[in-house]
Structure formats: C-alpha cells, structure tokens
Structure 1
Amino acid sequence: MSGLNDLLHAIKTAADDGEETILATVVKVEGSAYRRPGARMLIPLHGRTVGTVSGGCLEQDLAKKAWWLTDSGEPVVRRYSTGATEDEDDEHSSLTFGLGCNGTVFVMLERLRAKTPSPAIDLLHRVRDSQQPAAMATVIATSRNASARVGDRVLSDTDGGLRNPPLNSAIREDLHKTLREKKSSLRLYTDARGEVEVFFEYVAPPPRLVIFGAGHDAQPLVRMAKLLNWHVSVVDSRSHYARPERFPQADAVIFANLDNPFDLQPLINDAAVAVMTHSYRQDRHWLGQLLHGAPAYLGQLGPKERTERLLADIGLSSPALHYPMGLDLGGDAPESVALSMLAEMAAVLNQRNGGMLKHRSRPIHSVDLLVSQALAHQQAGVGV
C-alpha cells in the first residue's frame, strides 16, 4: 500500500472541493510488470496525477485518455502490452508500447464523484485507520450476457454484493479464503449465463515499525520508513529525546519511563521492531520485554559481542533476533545504517533473503493463478 496516505488525501481534497476524479487500478498482470495488481493512481481533471501503476510508461497515456474512456460513467478496463514489437494487425496494437518488458497490464478506470460513496475507497480508509486487513472482490471482465458488470464489488467487511445469489455466495467464500491466505488472486466463474472474471485483492494495512531509541540515527530511519508508507512509532525513556518535534513524520512518539512499565504487546505484535537506544540500560530493559513478545521482526543495533552480553544479562536468547541488525551494504553514515536496517526488515516481512536479484532463480513476483469454478444451478440449488 505504498503511497496510500497521499492517494486518500488527494481523493478527500478533490471530494471536498466538489471535483470528480478517476481512479486507475492495476487489476491483472500477465508476464513481467513493474507494479502488481492493486497498484493505484488518481487522475484529476486538472493538475498532476497521484500514485503510479507502472514504472512511468503507462501513466501519461492513462492521464490523457481516462476521461473520454469513462465518458459513459461506467468503469472500464484498459489493456496495455509492453512487448518488444508492435503488430499493426493486432486489435490492441494502439496499446502496445514496445518496451521489451514482455508483459501485459490491465488497468481499471472508474470515476469517483464528490458526493457519491465509493465502497473501494471506504474500505481503504478502514484498513488504514483500523490497522486490520480486509479483502475486496472486483469484477474485471464478463461475457456479454453475464449476471455481473465490470466494476461490481463484494467487500469482506460489509454486507451486500452482487444480485446473483449463487455467484455472490461463491465470491464471499473466496473472499474468506483470500483473507486466510493473505494473497491476491484472479478467479474465473462460469454459469449458465456466461463467464465472470474477478480480481480478489488482499488489502493489508501498512507495515508497522516500532523504534526503541530516539537518537539522531533514528531520524533517517523514520523518514525512510515513511517513504514506504509504513506506520512508525518511536519510544524512548529520555524526555529530551522523545519529542514529536524531533520526529515530525512519525505517527507516534512515546515517552516511556523505565520505572513505569507499560504493556508493549499491542504495540509490537506483528510489527518490525528495532532496538537502538545506544544506552545499555535501556537496551537491556526493552530487549528483555521484547523477547517475550511476537514481533514480525526484531533487531538489535550494535556489535555482536555487545548484544550477546545483553542476552546473557537478560538470561534469554532467541534465534529470531537479528544482530547485528541490517544487511551488509557498507557505509557508516546514519542514512546508510538506516537503509541497511530497513532493507533487512523489508526482506524479512516479505519472506525474502535480501540477496541480489541477479542470483535469484525464481521469478521476482509470484504468479497470479487463474482459478476456474463452475457455478452450475445443480450445485448451487438455485437457478443462475
């Protein structure tokens, strides 16, 4: 959800001003592409776009043509090919960019009206504000006589949905599966009236980073994490360090006196956590509590020998503790150290090893599988 805050802010600003905008969303990718399904861009009638749906090759064409493509008011899906050659006899030749990326990107365009609620935007707000995941099913293609339309949606956290009860029921079941597996996918449903292709999007809240230590080297780490749209909290027991004005981009700056402990678990569970106070007493205090928690990533800054002495004093150890924290990138400036730490956190959260991509034998991105499901009226018990 990189750039989500900027996107939602731009949508709200336009709505407050009574202006209509167009939301462009990547809903399907075949082959190689810079952005994956779920990437979004806002296209205003006047002014600059917000967000990206590619590496910069599709945005200009979308901004130029989105308004007349959606002139009917209905959502449409635009197909772009980034193949190496153009075929003038191809019905889609006008959408071929000849970039040599050998991928096809499908982008859905839909108008956002100032006074008309958007279920998709409302869901994005709820996920961001509640820090709880959700799932969204969006119809992206249909047969001529199908029982759904492009742009129809079913959301995991609200009632309602499609008018076709068997199809709606099947989609809701797959929404639950999307939440369980925490993975977006494409599915094709077939009934007596035709085919309906649906993009199931797993909408995760922004990753959370909790930094124990409000020193100078924490400042670039906060800034870099916010560039990735992470939710960032800074904790320190020194009141002259734990000040919001030192970390204007942080979501929370917490002064925590060591003599008045508080329950850390809601703050750290499933979050990336960095201990970097440069105070042996503070590090020992925080690390002793953190080792009893369930963070998604836990790292300790400093030499290996120092951390091992901390663990010995605490009387605990954990194979999941990352120390020294960070990837071996070289450089000793605070910004270099922050980059090293954040890169390791991102690799762990994404279940990667942080190695060079040129040594990766598997595809960079996982392949989105197309799953066919038959919704025959005999199975559903209801005519479709």
Structure 2
Amino acid sequence: MLDIAGSVDGWLGQGRDFAVATVVGVSGSAPREPGAALAVDREGAAVGSVSGGCVEGAVYELCRQALEDGRPVRESFGYSDETAFAVGLTCGGVIDVLVVPVRAGGPERTVVASALSAVRSGEPVALARVVDGPAELLGHGLVVRPDGSYEGTLDGQGPLTRSASAQARAMLDAGRTGTVVLGGDETNPGRPLTLLVEVRVTPPRMIVFGAVDFAAALVRLGKYLGYHVTVCDARPVFATRARFPEADDVVADWPHRYLEATEVDHRTVLCVLTHDARFDVPLLERALRSPVAYVGAMGSRRTHEDRLARLRESGLSEREIGRLRSPIGLDLGARTPEGTAVSIVAEIIAERHGGTGLPLTGTRLPIHRDGERLPPPRPRPVASTAAHRSA
C-alpha cells in the first residue's frame, strides 16, 4: 500500500472512506510484487494497480464490496482456460490479494494514517498487517519505526504484538518488504498467522562523478528510478545547479575527497564518468573498498587497461578490482548520452536483481526470480557505445 501513499494520504486528509487491495502473495510469473496496491473510494475513484490490468476489474469490485460490508477479504487470482481473459492472469501466475476497508472510526484507519504520515515526512517506516490467519485479525496491523516504537496491536501488549513489532523492525533495518509467519510455536501458541511487512526507507543513493553530458542524462534516469542523485566534479565551472537542475545535490570537490566524507551503504551506486586518471584512480581505490552495491567507470578499452594497471600498483587486490564494471554499462549499441545512460542503468538493475543482461527471447530462465541473485555472466560482451570507445 505504501507505493500509493501520496494518493491515499490525500483521501485521508479529505475524510474519504476507501478500501485498499494489496498484493500479499505471488507465485509463478506475475506482473506485480507483494505490496503493490489498488485503492477505491466511495465515489468509485481508483488509484494504483495490483496486476498491470489482468484482474483490476475484479479487484475493483471487491474493494467496492468491502466498503459496503466493512469486512476484509482475501482472494486468489490465477490462470485458467475458462477465465483467462476475464478474471485471471494470462501470464500464468497467481497473486493473492487482501482487501481492507479503511473507514472513519475503524482501527485500520488509525494504523494507515500513522504509516502515511511517516511516509509524508520522509521517515523510514514499516507497515505490518495480518494477511492470513484468524478471521478476526485479518487486516489488523502495526506501524513500526526504526527505534522500535510502534502503533497498533494484534493482542494488546501480548506476545503476538511484541513478536510482530520485532519482526517488522528487523525487516525495516534490512530495507526489505516481505512476509513473516508468527505463532504456532511454544512461544506463541495457537493458529499461525502471516504478516505482510511493507517497508519504506530513505531512497538509495546514486553518485555520479564527472559533470559531463552523459551525467545529465544519467541524473534524469536515476531520479526516475527513485535514487537520490548527487553529481560531483572537481571543476566548479561545470558542477553547477544550472547544468544539473534535476540532481538532488551538486558538489564541487575532488571526487575521492567527497567519497571519503559522504555516507554510503550497500544500496549506493557509484558511476565514474570522468575517465581521467587524476580523478579516477584515487576515487576508485576508495570506491572498490567501500560497501557500495555497484562501481562503474567510463572509458575506452585502452583507458580501462591503463586504469587496471594503476589500481594494481596502488595495492588493490584482484578481488577488489573484480568489483569494477568497466567499460560501464551493457552493450546496447548506444551512441547518445541518453542511450548510454540507459545502458548504465540497465547494468545497475541487472546487478541489483541478479539479471543476466541477455535478451529474454531464447532464454529459459524465469522472468521473475523473486529477488534471487544470479552471478553476472562472464566474459562480459564487448561494449560498442561511442562513450565506451572514447579515450
């Protein structure tokens, strides 16, 4: 539900009643992941999506019904020959959807309002809701913050509430949306129940080093993908807000010095577009020893080989150097800054989700691998973009 927080928050502010349908389980090839949501208000207005169009009509009607009778409902939608083009997923997958009415005076409204308030304020937050279990708990949930404080309850201050808040906080710390099972053991006897924990954390960072034309295109795509984008260049005349109006931050500083001073984590991606040894080598020495998710550097094959030699001379190990993606990007045949930016973000997405970078045509790998990471193929194909061939 947090993926449509902006629209639903507006409805709350206007005092509207609405119902939210959330994807709570997926199997096979399905277009949306757990947490994807569709909301419908009393007037019939709808925002969001749970299936990319396959079952929207049926889910819309479930939302209208939930608003009328005030009862949550869980429903599965899957492929069948009879209903493939009516109610079902023609792609062959199955999705489970939980529909919860959010009406004035209801306990769900308080929890939803608290979660949306945190999102509006830019605070990390986890929304944990019961998606399978006793009927009286279906749709009930908690809002959990990084310090462990929470709002809402499953059993007062009992073991289920404490366990749910602890599990949600752990998933918030990991920045991961998913399901957890509680109860049915010695600690929490009784029927097990399943929680969907939706997490909203601060955006991951993309730091683009080198205030060049390729950087401007990459900033636009980085913002589109939800990154907090910083452009850094040692030349103040080029590192200006006028040149990069869409960047969150524009920094005039030596790249290696800025990297040492700024905060990065396992979600950060670094794109080095300077292809100048004065900047690249000291920057990459630090970047390849940092915990970031991705380090890519632009340059020709000749520049790349010279860069590798300098990095080895600086004392980096082969394992550290092996983290470097250079020449940066996938081989798309791109020549323009915009096309090159697409090739770079395509490689970042593939690295993040375990993609091969190969055409789906002719491959037998699952299209959706539920977050499973696969090692990138080696050897990597020869890049052919003009940017890669530049010295």
Q: TM-score by structure 1 length?
A: 0.75
Residue number in structure 1 paired with 2:303: 306
Letter in 2 for 1:119: V
Structure 1 partner of 2:251: 255
State the partner residue of 2:155.
163
Q: Deviations over 1:243-285 (max 9, x none)?
A: 33443433x2222233994454643332011011355534345
Q: Which of residues 196, 199, 205 in structure 2 aligns to 1:203?
A: 199
Offset of residue 48 of structure 1:
6.1
1:333 and 2:336 are equivalent in the alignment = yes
Give the whole-Å Cα distance in 1 for the aligned partners of 2:214 and 2:104: 43
Partner of 1:71: 68
Query: In 2, Cα distance between the equivalents of 1:58 and 1:308?
Result: 52
Correspondence for 2:52 among 26, 43, 55: 55
AA at the equivalent of 1:359: T
Structure 2 residue aligned with 1:184: 178
Task: Tell me the CA shift for residue 14 of structure 1.
Answer: 3.2
In the other structure, the counterpart of 1:346 is 349
**Does the alignment pair 1:359 with 2:363?**
yes
Q: Aligned equivalents of 1:212 and 1:47: distance in 2? A: 48
Deviations 1:84-105 (A, max 9, x none): 3349xxxxxxx96254433332
Per the alignment, residue 103 of structure 1 pairs with 93
Deviations 1:216-262 (A, max 9, x none): 22222222233322332222233343333443433x22222339944
Please give the TM-score of this superposition, normalised by the length of structure 2. 0.74
Q: CA, structure 1 residues 96+365, in 2 after alignment: closer, same or farther (shift >3 Å)?
A: farther
- TM-align CA RMSD: 3.9
Unaligned runs of 5+ in 1: 88-94, 369-384
2:181 aligns to what SS in structure 1? strand
- The letter for the 1-side match of 2:155 is R
Deviates further, 223-232 or 16-25 = 16-25
* More displaced 10-residue stretch of structure 1: 148-157 or 338-347: 148-157
Q: What displacement does 1:178 show?
A: 4.4
Q: Deviation string for 1:314-354 (max 9, x for gaps)?
A: 54442111111112222222222111111111121223433
Residue 41 of structure 1 contacts residue 53 of structure 1 at CA under 8 Å; is this kept in 2?
yes
Match of 1:152 in 2: 140
User: How far has the Cα of 1:177 moved from its partner?
Assistant: 5.8
SS in 1 for 2:342: helix
Matched positions, count: 353
Q: How does 1:76-155 map to 2 (within 5 A)?
A: 76-86=73-83, 97-112=87-102, 118-120=110-112, 122-123=114-115, 126=118, 135-143=126-134, 148-155=136-143
AA paired with 1:103?
Answer: G
Change (3 A) 1:364 1:76: same
Query: Larger deviation: 257-266 or 346-355?
Result: 257-266
Find 1:269's aligned residue among 232, 247, 265: 265
Q: For the structure 1 residues 196 and 85, does the alpha-carbon distance in structure 2 shift closer, same or farther, using more than 3 Å as the test?
A: farther
Deviation at 1:297, TM superposition (A): 0.6
Change (3 A) 1:69 1:204: closer
Contact 1:135 1:156 (C-alpha < 8 Å) held by counterparts:
yes
Q: Which moved more, 1:336-345 or 1:118-127?
A: 118-127
Q: Percent identity?
A: 29
Letter in 1 for 2:232: V
Partner of 1:221: 218
Q: Classify the secondary structure of the residue corresponding to 2:333.
A: coil
Q: Please, which runs of 5 or more residues in structure 2 have no aligned partner?
A: 373-391
Aligned equivalents of 1:170, 1:268: Cα separation in 2: 31
In 1, the alpha carbon distance for the partners of 2:27 and 2:166 equals: 25
For the pair 1:323 / 2:319, whether they are aligned, the reply is no
What amino acid sits opposite 1:139 in the alignment?
V
Matched letter for residue 166 of structure 1: P
